[in-house]
């Protein structure tokens, strides 16, 4: 059995998605590839092991259900605005999770303020170079996030999207883990891809809703 499954979620950034999939296929530790496709355009994603095309756009909630079906020991969820820079990323992630199997990891996170407010909390970004060493955080951001899928299988993910404000499901995932870590394995191993105003953080109520969720559950 393949030890790791990677799921890419995409919407309008189809050129980005093609770049990411091409890079993932070149990983030294070959992953099983899943694609959750919210796009409305016809496009050739190349060879993947499983793809689901959803219309209308279901944002990111569908990927958690898809991840829960993975048969591998570890899963990596990646958005369409971030891409590996070398062929060692999956191998490094699996090695880390084998040593820390109860961890939720990624290259970006947040250290929450004591009052639980999200928007003015401290961001930890290996991509931006704010840290270079492995760091414990309160929240791992979901642009790239890795963990063992057995946690999702035990969670009632079917109600995530309707139970809370939309697009809070990454925060709900964080509540399932005691160990949340930004490991230095991501340093110089990830790069940003082009984005626009379609990003979730650009929505007018994004930070207000995240503040509300964090104060309730963290």
User: Residue 24 is part of a domain; what is its CATH number?
Assistant: 3.90.550.10
pLDDT in tens, the chain (218 residues): 789 999 998 877 888 999 999 999 999 999 999 999 877 777 777 889 999 887 665 556 678 888 989 999 999 999 999 999 999 999 999 999 999 999 999 999 999 987 777 888 988 887 766 678 899 999 999 899 999 998 887 776 655 554 555 567 888 899 999 999 999 999 989 999 987 655 555 556 778 888 888 888 88
Whether 128 contacts 191, CB under 8 Å: no
How far is Cα 187 from Cα 179, in angstroms, rounded to an integer?
20
- Give the count of domains, the chain: 1
In terms of Cα–Cα distance, which of 180, 109, 185 is closest to 142?
109
pTM: 0.90
**Non-local CB neighbours of 71 within 8 Å, separated by 6+ positions:** 1, 2, 5, 32
**Non-local CB neighbours of 173 within 8 Å, separated by 6+ positions:** 64, 104, 142, 145, 147, 152
What is the torsional sign of CA 191, 149, 142, 62? positive
Q: Residue 79: which domain range?
A: 4-217
Q: What is the pLDDT of residue 132?
A: 81
Whether 97 contacts 5, CB under 8 Å: no
């Amino acid at each position: 059995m393949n030890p790791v499954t990677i799921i890419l979620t995409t919407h309008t950034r189809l050129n980005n998605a093609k770049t990411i999939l091409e890079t993932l296929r070149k990983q030294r530790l070959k992953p099983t590839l899943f694609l959750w496709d919210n796009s409305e355009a016809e496009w050739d994603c190349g060879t993947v092991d499983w793809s689901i095309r959803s219309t209308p756009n279901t944002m990111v909630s569908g990927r958690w259900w898809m991840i829960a079906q993975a048969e591998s020991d570890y899963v990596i969820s990646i958005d369409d605005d971030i891409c590996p820079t070398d062929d060692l990323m999956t191998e490094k992630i699996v090695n880390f999770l084998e040593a820390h199997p109860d961890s939720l990891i990624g290259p970006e996170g947040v250290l929450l303020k004591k009052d639980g407010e999200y928007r003015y909390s401290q961001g930890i970004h290996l991509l931006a170079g704010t840290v270079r060493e492995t760091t414990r955080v309160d929240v791992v951001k979901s642009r790239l996030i890795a963990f063992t899928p057995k946690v999702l299988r035990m969670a009632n993910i079917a109600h995530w999207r309707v139970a809370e404000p939309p697009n809070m499901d990454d925060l709900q995932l964080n509540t399932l883990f005691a160990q949340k870590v930004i490991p230095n394995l991501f340093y110089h191993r990830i790069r940003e891809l082009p984005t626009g105003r379609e990003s979730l953080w650009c929505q007018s109520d994004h930070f207000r809703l995240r503040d509300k969720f964090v104060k309730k559950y963290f």
